Amino acid sequence: MKTFSLRPPYSRITIVLVCILFISGFRYAGDKDTNSNQNLLQFKSPPLPESFSFAGEQVPLSDPGIREQWDREVLYNYYLPNSILYIIKLSHRYFPQIEERLKLHGVPEDMKYLCVAESNLQQLVSKAGAAGFWQFMPGTAPAFGLEVNSQVDERYHIEKSTDAACKYLKQAYAQLGSWTAAAASYNCGMGAYAGQASFQGTRNYYRLLLPEETNRYIFRILTFKYFIEEADKLGFIIDKDQQYTPQSVRRISVSQSIPNLAEFARQQGYDYKSLKYYNPWLRGKSLTVSKGKTYTLMLPGGDK
């Protein structure tokens, strides 16, 4: 939350251009002797759709300024194909889990693309200390039901952090009146958004002047939605057998402290690395379970 950062594109784009030179995405126009443009690399600007929506709300693409703002984000990300392909692969694994939680809370399914914009579907930690798929700050997380301490950090728990994000988004929607505004406030905060809306006389995201990160935030979300939904059309081709599939797990309830998680993992027939991989919210080498509390651990394999 409020962790969105736009990296300067120049160094990354330079690296990508070199890769594209040797891998794909370029072509020579013809024989080097026929005209002066023949040895130039040629890049194509991807098309934008005539209409597009987010969370059931139309994007005003008839406005040239709005269309250009979105075009900027599409161009900045389109020529990072390695990153986009990896995100698309990850989406096949994690979207079903995220979609289930969004549906349970009555939050539009499109909010899964906000999660992509926040973390690229990876358990990242920002320079400011925001963590997990939904990038909650350690001070903010407990207000939305997440436990954060040296042993347990539920910002890394995909289901619980999604539940927490849903709580935030529903509160923001109730205050700001639209899902687009709620999503934008995830970057700048409800109070900051409401303050600008009051000062400028509109709550419409597309009509507000906001901090630069937030001005670009929704368009970044739209870009990931466009790329993932129209992957084949835009040239991001992933064969079905190359997609990352949802992981089969079995769940066990733990109501007593575990002094040594590595030993516990071996007792369950697994190693410590697997235990931490399936439960990234376990941050220490032990787990203290308070009286009356229960944790659910995930282990490889189907439910038993």
- Which pairing describes strands 295-300 and 249-254: parallel, antiparallel, or unpaired? antiparallel
Residue 19: the pLDDT is 55
What span, in angstroms and rounded, lies between the C-alpha atoms of 83 and 155? Answer: 23
Class of domain 9-37+57-242 as given by CATH: mainly alpha
Q: What is the pLDDT of residue 301?
A: 81
d(CA 153, CA 155): 5
Model confidence band, residue 230 (pLDDT cutoffs 50, 70, 90): very high
Q: What is the DSSP string of 118-179?
A: HHTTS--B-TTS-BTTTTB-TTTGGGGT--BSSSBBGGG-HHHHHHHHHHHHHHHHHHHSSH
DSSP 8-state code for residue 42: -
pLDDT tens, 97-146?
999 999 999 999 999 999 999 999 999 999 999 999 999 999 999 999 99
Please give the average per-residue pLDDT across 45-63, as a whole number: 97
pLDDT surpassing 50 at residue 242: yes
Q: How many of the other CB atoms lie within 10 Å of CB of 290?
A: 8
d(CA 5, CA 216): 10
| Banded model confidence at residue 302, pLDDT cuts 50, 70, 90 | low
**Residues 6 or more apart whose Cβ sits within 8 Å of residue 107:** 166, 169, 170
Task: Please state, in angstroms and rounded to a whole number, the distance separating the CA atoms of residues 183 and 5.
Answer: 15
C-beta atoms surrounding 179 within 10 Å: 22
Strand, coil or helix: 54: strand
Does position 56 have pLDDT exceeding 90, yes or no?
A: yes
Q: List beta partners, residue 58.
A: 53
Predicted confidence (pLDDT) at residue 195 exceeds the cutoff of 90: yes
Residue bearing the bigger pLDDT, 31 or 128:
128
Could you report the per-residue pLDDT of 5-19, keeping only the tens digit for each?
444 444 555 555 545
Mean pLDDT of all residues belonging to the chain: 90
Sequence ranges of the domains in the chain = 9-37+57-242, 249-300
Tokens standing for 41? 């690399």
Question: What pTM was estimated for this model as a whole?
Answer: 0.86
Decide if 87 contacts 121 (C-beta within 8 A): yes
Q: How many CA atoms lie within 13 A of 50 on its CB side?
A: 0
